Amino acid sequence: MDRRTFTKLIGLLAMPSGKSFGKTLKNTNIVVIGAGILGTMIAYELIKRGSRVTLIDKNYPASGASGNSFSWINATYPKKPYSYNLLSQLGIDAYRSLEKEFHFDIKWNGSLEWFKQSSQQKNLVAEINEVKKYPTFTPVDLISKSEAKRMEPNVYFGNKKQIAYSKSDGALDTVQAIQMIQNKFERLGGESIFPCEFLKLNQQNGKIKSIETNQGTIETNQAVFASGINTDKNLGLNISSTPTPGIILRTAPVDNRFNRIIVGPGVHIHQQKDGVIVLGEQGGAPLTHIDRLKERPSIFPSKEFEQMHTERIINTAKKFTSGLENIHVNQVSIGWRPLPKDRIPIIGRIKKMQGVYVSMMHSGISLAAIVSKLISEELLENKNIPILDHFRPSRFG
């Protein structure tokens, strides 16, 4: 069946029951570790369904990758295999459903992508043609340069004949969204503790009894880890690659200059509804900087370094735009992106730790709305939902 039929059948994303393990667990006390977009949405979905929930973060909401991200909600061509692509498409549907509850700042105008290098551009075209063969509809097309230019007059597409246009993509004000969700979570009776760093699990007979934090002990029999780059450290696992940094610039609000997400050579650009332009460098730091970045800083060591990188990113973006003149950069940050070893989301129970559930992915912003609903269903109905079977942590042994 096609994706629209599937979405209609699940009805506001109420997932099929899957394999049940017994009675429902709605009265259980659940602790969610990590207050990024994923952890905050999980906590909200759990409290909305009648559970008792405590949300903790070692710093504060949106202090990690989510708050220092390009904030692109996407289901574009790199999302492979098919199960990952389908989950991403459902993620977009879930955000549209969630907008009925929250007035998020999301621009649903799609994205335009191309590469400067001929080999990369050729691979882009091949990948999109492959994705279009999937059994459910994927809203991505190859359009002409003239079509792309009509959509984005301030963007130059060089000599590329075809531009990838992903119609359903959106750009989110992630920090605002996290604040809105966390506020409603608390209004529904959820408890937030910040800063509160997770230290260890306390187990009895193989089951969680409580967790230790730097603010004391929290009694619980269920813990959901949405702790991003700290997942391996927190749980003693080996399921993620070394996190990579991405530099994010946010400008003062300006008049409308970009309508869509521009995924250009070296720099990504989008403009929020409030006029703020967001620029993201996705290449990461050179190898010569690895030692200096071991502590994973979120800011630069000096204003001189910050200014140097700001100018470099803006100058790179100016090579293919005419919309960045006379802008003022208000914020520069470094976001450390969690990366599963195989680049596929990790979602599910840890078999050797009864009561422990983990959710870790690089596409946390894209998938948060759908994954939070599915996780709350699995936890509170004590079941396995088949659509998540491909993403279980058990694949790492």
Q: Of 270, 280, 269, give the one whose Cα is nearest residue 244.
A: 280
Q: Which of 86-90, 156-160, 283-287, 300-304 has the lowest mean pLDDT?
A: 283-287
Q: CA separation (Å) from 378 to 19, 40, 209, 230, 355?
A: 9, 17, 20, 23, 12
Q: Give every CB contact of residue 178 below 8 A, 6+ residues apart in sequence.
A: 35, 36, 37, 40, 61, 62, 66, 67
pLDDT at residue 132, as a whole number: 87
Average pLDDT in the 216-223 region?
Answer: 96
Of the pLDDT bands very low, low, confident and very high (cuts 50, 70, 90), residue 284 is: low
Neighbours of 105 (CB within 10 A): 18
At 122-158, the pLDDT tens digits run 999 999 999 888 888 888 999 999 999 999 999 999 9
Of the pLDDT bands very low, low, confident and very high (cuts 50, 70, 90), residue 244 is: confident
Among 15-19, 23-27, 63-67, 289-293, the range of highest mean pLDDT: 63-67
Q: 174-187 and 37-48 helices cross at what angle (nearest 10)?
A: 30
pLDDT at residue 8, as a whole number: 41
8 Å CB contact between 208 and 355: yes
Question: Average model confidence (pLDDT) for the chain?
Answer: 90
Fold of 109-169+241-340: D-Amino Acid Oxidase; Chain A, domain 2 (3.30.9)
pLDDT at residue 152, as a whole number: 98
Structure-model confidence comparison of residues 288 and 139, the more confident one: 139
Q: Of 263, 255, 275, 274, give the one whose Cα is nearest residue 321.
A: 263
pLDDT at residue 11, as a whole number: 44
Structure-model confidence comparison of residues 242 and 47, the more confident one: 47
At 350-384, the pLDDT tens digits run 988 999 999 999 889 999 999 999 999 999 999 99
CA-based angle 264:270:271, to the nearest 5?
A: 150
| pTM for this model (two decimals) | 0.92
pLDDT above 70 as % of the chain: 90
At 315-336, the pLDDT tens digits run 999 999 999 999 999 999 998 9
Domain spans, the chain? 3-76+174-239+342-396, 109-169+241-340
Q: Of 231, 239, 178, give the one whose Cα is nearest residue 42.
A: 178
pLDDT at residue 19, as a whole number: 58
Res 76 pLDDT > 70: yes
DSSP string, 106-159: EE---EEE--SSHHHHHHHHHHHHHHTTSSS---EEEEEHHHHHHH-TTB--TT
When computed from its CA atoms, the radius of gyration of the chain, rounded to whole angstroms, is 21
Of the pLDDT bands very low, low, confident and very high (cuts 50, 70, 90), residue 286 is: low
Which residue type does 158 have? G
pLDDT at residue 292, as a whole number: 64
Res 230 pLDDT > 70: yes
Res 301 pLDDT > 90: no
Which residue type does 112 have? L
Structure-model confidence comparison of residues 91 and 2, the more confident one: 91
Neighbours of 285 (CB within 10 A): 16
3-76+174-239+342-396 is classed in which CATH architecture? Answer: 3-Layer(bba) Sandwich (3.50)
Give the side-chain half-sphere CA count within 13 A for 214: 9
| Residue in the block written with tokens 């992915």 | 361
Q: Give every CB contact of residue 2 below 8 A, 6+ residues apart in sequence.
A: 135, 136, 137
265: preceding bond cis by omega (within 30 degrees): no
Question: Dihedral of CA 378/382/383/388: which sign?
Answer: positive
Give the side-chain half-sphere CA count within 13 A for 179: 9
